[in-house]
């Protein structure tokens, strides 16, 4: 857990790590390569480690060099099982499906299961791979796909809430080794998809139209390993910019691609932040009087859904009424009640949150529900008066490379402590005699072992 003492304006210089959402599909696409691949700028994250374990299980050698670079080389092309125990830890693991099918002719990949931020089916992935000629069935929670060689096709990947980013990555990677030409219509335009396409082209693929909704792929016979540098993480950059605003700080951020985050920059300027670019760096300053705004998360080039929670945290301390809407994941508001615990005034109406901004938040104990919600709570903790405790920060470690250390270098006061329960506070100790009648009822939920388990006590069965 994090213990944060808020109220410190941030100041200094910080550097953005490589993009998690770019590194993961590129790591998966290394399964397509003959010979070694080296990736530079891969962030040191739990999700990266998880995918590394999966790639090893699929026959690749994966090594982190002293320089921080990651190297990959396929050594066994017979393995094609992506087991549930690995895939369940991270949805992006499904990106191995297309590369396995294209290079090895078969894949058995666990369905990723549920997600805290809303419904995220992979039906568009399967639709695209089926169009390329794969035979696909789902049995016992696994996608089983086969194809002697994929064949080029015209594929439409539009969904009810826009294009699918991981679906575009999966289908594009598979189509590189397909026979003939493939066209992906309604393809995702995100910079991370472009980065994957540039990596595949460097390996020998023939992909055009990257960054547009129409991508064309001419299939080739083989791809070879290359050295590639991951783009900067635009979500981390946005989070650090918002940290400057919410703390009334003045910071310089290095390794930033502002051309990847135009909508975020314009919205932060509308709120009142001063953003001054200089090459691949940017200075971000908060003015004394910030303004409320309406903010809508949309597919790229709009404001990313991955920044929605952080933007909401900022708007809780901006005077006036702001409306935050998410049109990508309409149910992505699990951070809302936790921000309320910190003193925010927010109410939800459908896929919108109405924020009545205040000048001050107050420290409290809160619980993170997902990766970006974790970041939003950290930001709110920076602005809150007193001490805040954020539990389940393991979510944060999935997508931010040592965020608390970067913020502490800017003047924040964040301590990482064990999340294990210590001695139970007296206020939480129940008096058994007060519940005697309840416990005598054999149907009552507090009776016997069930009651003890709810207190965290496990009984031995001798």
Catalytic positions are 115
Q: d(Cα 425, Cα 251) in Å, to the nearest integer?
A: 40
Cβ atoms of 47 and 287 within 8 Å: the answer is no
How many CB atoms are located within 10 Å of the residue 394 CB? 13
Tracing tokens 């409306």 back to the chain, one arrives at: 323
Place of tokens 């919410």: 246
Is 431 within 8 Å of 438 (Cβ atoms)?
A: no
Rounded Cα–Cα distance for residues 74 and 55 (Å): 9
The contacts of residue 442 (CB under 8 Å, 6+ apart) are none
Pairing status of strand 2-5 against strand 387-391: antiparallel
């Amino acid at each position: 857990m994090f213990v944060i003492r808020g109220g410190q304006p941030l100041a200094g210089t910080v550097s953005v790590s490589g993009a998690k959402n770019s590194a993961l599909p590129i790591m998966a696409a290394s399964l397509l390569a003959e010979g070694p691949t080296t990736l530079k700028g891969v962030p040191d994250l739990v999700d990266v480690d998880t995918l590394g374990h999966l790639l090893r299980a699929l026959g690749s050698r994966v090594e982190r060099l002293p320089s921080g670079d990651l190297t990959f080389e396929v050594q066994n092309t017979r393995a094609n099982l992506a087991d549930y125990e690995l895939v369940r830890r991270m949805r992006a693991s499904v990106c191995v499906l297309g590369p396995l099918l294209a290079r090895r002719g078969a894949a058995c990949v666990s369905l990723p299961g549920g997600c805290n931020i809303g419904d995220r089916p992979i039906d568009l992935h399967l639709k695209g791979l089926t169009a390329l000629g794969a035979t696909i069935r789902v049995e016992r929670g696994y996608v089983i796909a086969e194809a002697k060689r994929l064949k080029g096709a015209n594929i439409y990947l539009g969904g009810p809430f826009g294009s699918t980013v991981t679906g575009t990555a999966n289908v594009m990677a598979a189509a590189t080794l397909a026979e003939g030409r493939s066209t992906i219509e309604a393809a995702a335009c995100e910079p991370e998809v472009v980065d994957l396409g540039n990596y595949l082209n460097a390996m020998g693929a023939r992909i055009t139209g990257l960054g547009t909704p129409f991508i064309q792929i001419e299939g080739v016979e083989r791809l070879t390993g290359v050295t590639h540098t991951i783009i900067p993480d635009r979500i981390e950059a946005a989070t650090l910019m918002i940290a400057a605003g919410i703390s009334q700080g003045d910071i310089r951020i290095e390794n930033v691609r502002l051309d990847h985050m135009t909508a975020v920059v314009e919205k932060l300027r509308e709120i009142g932040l001063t953003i001054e670019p200089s090459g691949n760096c940017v200075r971000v300053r908060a003015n004394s009087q910030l303004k409320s705004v309406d903010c809508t998360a949309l597919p790229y080039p709009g404001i990313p859904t991955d920044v929605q929670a952080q933007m909401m945290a900022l708007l809780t301390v901006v005077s006036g009424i702001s409306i935050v809407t998410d049109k990508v994941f309409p149910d992505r508001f699990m951070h809302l009640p936790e921000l309320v615990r910190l003193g925010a005034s927010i109410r939800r109406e459908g896929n919108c949150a109405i924020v009545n901004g205040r000048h001050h938040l107050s420290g409290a104990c809160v619980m993170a529900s997902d990766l970006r919600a974790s970041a939003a709570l950290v930001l709110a903790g920076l602005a809150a008066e007193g001490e805040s405790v954020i539990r389940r920060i393991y979510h944060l470690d999935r997508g931010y490379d040592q965020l608390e250390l970067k913020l502490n270098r800017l003047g924040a006061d964040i301590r990482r402590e064990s999340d294990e329960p210590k001695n139970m506070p007296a206020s939480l100790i129940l008096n058994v005699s007060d519940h005697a009648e309840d416990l005598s009822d054999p149907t009552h939920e507090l009776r016997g072992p069930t009651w003890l388990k709810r207190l965290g006590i496990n009984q031995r069965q001798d």
